[in-house]
Amino acid sequence: MLKNTGRGEKMIGELLGNRYEIIEKIGGGGMALVYKAKCRLLNRFVAVKILRSELIEDEEFVGRFNVEAQAAASLSHPNIVSVYDVGHQHGIYYIVMEYINGSTLKEIITGNGPLFWKDALNVAMQICSALEHAHKNRVIHRDIKPHNIMITEDKRAKVTDFGIARAVSSSTVNLGGNTIGSVHYFSPEQARGGYTDERSDIYSLGIVMYEMITGKVPFDGESPVAIAMKHIQELPIPPGDINTDVPGVIQSIILKAISKEQGNRYASAGEMLGDIYKAFKTPDEDFVETENIDDSPTQKIPIINNIDDGSEIMVKKKAGRKKKVKKEDRIAVIAAIITSFIIIGGISYASYHVYKDYAAKRAPKEAPVPNLLGKDLESVKTAYSEQGFNIVEFKQVYDDEHEKGQIVSQEPGADKMVVIPSDIEVTVSMGAEMVKVPLLKNWEYREAEIELEAKGLKPDVRYDSHDRVPEGCVIRHVPESQVEVKKGEFVQLYVSTGPKITMVTMQDLTGKTAEEAKQIIQQLGLVPGEVESRPSDRPKNEVIEQSVADGQEVEEKTKVDLVVSEGKADESRTQTISIHLPQDKEQVKVKIVADDGSGKKVVYEKVHQKEESPLEIEMSGKGNVPVQLYFDDSDTPVYEDTLEFGGVE
């Protein structure tokens, strides 16, 4: 039974889930210990991550561990370490993952220093692709760091610890409640205990890129809290100042990714992946778009009290005097005013009617603008010219909804009243924009995705097994290369997941001859292994044991060893023979030769004194064994006989 006391070496040899046999410890962190194990069911090596015993008492942590581990198990991507199984047994919580034979990115940076910028971009593209897949599946990593990036022997990056990154260790902090992460790599919002989203992973990836390029992290300090405050408040030293060989566009990508404000970072991992790919292809161009923020301070503008000549601006009210007006004068003034209004009104009335008649004769003609949308340009030019409309082609555009030559838009719009003759500017369709599908077979699928997007096409990634195309490369695509399709359409990319794993159920081979058993093994798609012989009550050459048990499921081409019977073993018996030595010599060399069926062999040879006569010598054998007795070095036997030992059926 497994016990929840003292993990480490005591786990070696234990069996989890009646399936995973722990072989050796290969790593560990603040949250868990990692072991190499053998899956007995599928006969393959796996990595088993076991939650530290001090954390299992925290029910909230264990619950989050289980929920998020299940979410991580749903991810399937060539750059994500696969999660095969999740379980617990006797107080031990574990996750079974793909076993990677390689090193962590942290070990590579520590051992070799900064990476060459192209190698760094290659690793970053793979991490970005993994994050893009995870984010599309609503899984946020929250602990992207070089320690969680495995690099295989064939230089493939594999992101691990998806969904379980909220570990407690010496390099993690807890600020603002539930914000937990690796302090050198987490985002300002994680430091503040704020809202985290996909852009938090992008920030951490930017820090990882910074370290790959420079060999060091941008923010360091004496304590986790001090480092966290630098993430929130301080700007990093530009990576180009540390490594002058880095192209400027890579620095722009990194600085955009690690912007303090989430809104100033890349909106998605896919957007960042596009810029990284462009930087890999055209490192001399700086195409990274950044937010232009006006940081100029607010200034106090002084009050202007004087004008140019220095005199004060003043308004003074002039005092008036009262003047006495006679009554007769007032009446005369009123009468003059009334008379003026009458005269002016008469003149205005007459002038209005004269102008109205004139304007009616000279007024321009108005007409509503016709609706030209969807009509052929050449046909409307002729049709509406007689009505006083001049159709002017303003520009041409690609348009999926209108055939080539049809009008997409117009200005002025339909039914608007205009004075004719009048111009109508129209935009004409060039038809749907067509794009030739590029040849993408055997491309690394992330590069294929970016190539399609650069041509205005949408990648639709699907996965399939293949015996020859390496994992992560394009097997085929639909439509095929050089086929013209509308811009914006989907192209299906079938990406290799490596050779297909076929499971075989083993049969019972006991009782078969060795040759019969080998034929059955080959028919099942398995490989005959070594054949060992052992004594047995079963007939000779009959299979008595097999290395893969009856009914066990194993991968195709698994080797199967056999043990066959040698038949029943003869029992060896012992006889004592008496030999009288000649008395005419002081000493005699005695030699006994026996033939057990495989040829004559010396079974006894020794010098004896004559006083030792007679000699009593024990001999062992099976069946009837001819023997010959020689004295000294004579070639002629002094005695020949056949000893009957028995034991032969």
- 10 Å CB burial of residue 24 (0-12, 13-18, 19+) is exposed
Pairwise CA distance, residues 605 & 614, whole Å: 16
Among 6-20, 212-226, 322-336, 409-423, name the one with the lowest average pLDDT: 322-336
Q: Contact 475/454 with Cβ under 8 angstroms?
A: no
- 10 Å CB burial of residue 410 (0-12, 13-18, 19+) is buried
The secondary structure of 482-500, three-state, reads CCEEECCCEEEEEEECCCC
Pairwise CA distance, residues 472 & 570, whole Å: 61
Which pLDDT does position 110 carry in this prediction? Answer: 94
Pairwise CA distance, residues 79 & 444, whole Å: 12
Of 205 and 140, the one with more pLDDT = 205
pLDDT per residue as tens digits for the range 512-528: 999 999 999 999 999 99
Among 192-196, 214-218, 511-515, 519-523, name the one with the lowest average pLDDT: 192-196
Going by pLDDT thresholds of 50, 70 and 90, the confidence category of residue 492 is: very high
Going by pLDDT thresholds of 50, 70 and 90, the confidence category of residue 5 is: very low
Of 104 and 28, the one with more pLDDT = 104
pLDDT per residue as tens digits for the range 598-618: 788 888 899 999 898 898 888
Mean pLDDT of 379-400: 85
What is the DSSP code (8-state) at residue 612?
G
Which pLDDT does position 319 carry in this prediction? Answer: 38
Which pLDDT does position 357 carry in this prediction? Answer: 57
Pairwise CA distance, residues 68 & 71, whole Å: 5
Domain 373-429 indexed as CATH 1.10.3720.10? no
Going by pLDDT thresholds of 50, 70 and 90, the confidence category of residue 171 is: very low
Return the closest-CA partner of residue 31 out of 7, 9, 12.
Answer: 7
Return the closest-CA partner of residue 269 out of 124, 128, 445, 80.
Answer: 128
Domain 103-281 indexed as CATH 1.10.510.10? yes
pLDDT per residue as tens digits for the range 48-102: 988 888 777 777 777 766 766 776 777 888 899 888 888 888 888 889 998 988 8
pLDDT per residue as tens digits for the range 8-48: 567 888 899 889 999 999 887 767 789 999 998 888 899 99
Which pLDDT does position 335 carry in this prediction? Answer: 59
Domain assignments of the chain as residue spans, ordered by start: 8-98, 103-281, 373-429, 434-496, 503-565, 573-644
Domain 8-98 indexed as CATH 3.30.930.10? no
Mean pLDDT of 142-154: 90
Pairwise CA distance, residues 170 & 223, whole Å: 10
Which pLDDT does position 84 carry in this prediction? Answer: 85
Q: If you search the block for the tokens 């957007």, which residue do you land on?
A: 271
Query: For 323, how many CA atoms within 13 A lie in the half-sphere containing its CB?
Result: 3
Q: Is residue 143 flagged as an active site residue?
A: yes
At residue 168's C-alpha, the angle toward residues 162 and 172, to 5°, is 90
Find which of 341-350, 352-361, 558-567 is predicted with most confidence, using mean pLDDT: 558-567
Q: If you search the block for the tokens 């303090």, which residue do you land on?
A: 260
Going by pLDDT thresholds of 50, 70 and 90, the confidence category of residue 170 is: very low
Which pLDDT does position 395 carry in this prediction? Answer: 83
Which pLDDT does position 276 carry in this prediction? Answer: 93
Which pLDDT does position 353 carry in this prediction? Answer: 56
Q: Are both 373-429 and 503-565 of the same fold? A: yes
Whether the upstream peptide bond of residue 421 has omega within 30° of 0, thus cis, is yes
Pairwise CA distance, residues 497 & 126, whole Å: 15
Among 18-22, 159-163, 168-172, 550-554, name the one with the lowest average pLDDT: 168-172
Mean pLDDT of 440-468: 89
Going by pLDDT thresholds of 50, 70 and 90, the confidence category of residue 349 is: low
Which pLDDT does position 2 carry in this prediction? Answer: 37
At 206, list the tokens. 């930017």
Among 349-363, 483-497, 634-648, name the one with the lowest average pLDDT: 349-363
Which pLDDT does position 361 carry in this prediction? Answer: 53
pLDDT per residue as tens digits for the range 275-311: 999 998 889 888 888 764 334 333 333 333 333 333 3
Supply the DSSP string of 183-221, one letter for each residue. Answer: TTT--HHHHHT----HHHHHHHHHHHHHHHHHSS-S---
Going by pLDDT thresholds of 50, 70 and 90, the confidence category of residue 322 is: very low
β-bridge pairing 389-397 and 422-429: parallel
Among 119-123, 325-329, 501-505, 571-575, name the one with the lowest average pLDDT: 325-329
Which pLDDT does position 644 carry in this prediction? Answer: 80
Task: Assign domain 503-565 one CATH number from 1.10.3720.10, 2.40.30.170, 3.30.10.20, 3.40.1110.10.
Answer: 3.30.10.20
**Please, what is the average pLDDT of the chain?**
82
Which pLDDT does position 239 carry in this prediction? Answer: 95
Return the closest-CA partner of residue 426 out of 365, 367, 371, 368.
Answer: 371
Supply the DSSP string of 504-569, one letter for each residue. Answer: EEPPP-TTSBHHHHHHHHHHTT-EEEEEEEE--SSPTTBEEEESS-TT-EEETT-EEEEEEE--PP
Chain Cα centroid distance, residue 390:
59
The dihedral region occupied by 528, where left means phi > 0, alpha psi between -120 and 50, and beta the remainder, is beta
pLDDT per residue as tens digits for the range 568-602: 655 667 888 888 889 888 999 999 998 877 788 88
For domain 573-644, which architecture applies? Answer: Sandwich (2.60)
- Among 58, 85, 119, 143, the active-site one is 143
Pairwise CA distance, residues 537 & 568, whole Å: 5
Task: Assign domain 434-496 one CATH number from 3.30.10.20, 3.40.640.10, 3.40.47.10, 3.30.70.600.
Answer: 3.30.10.20
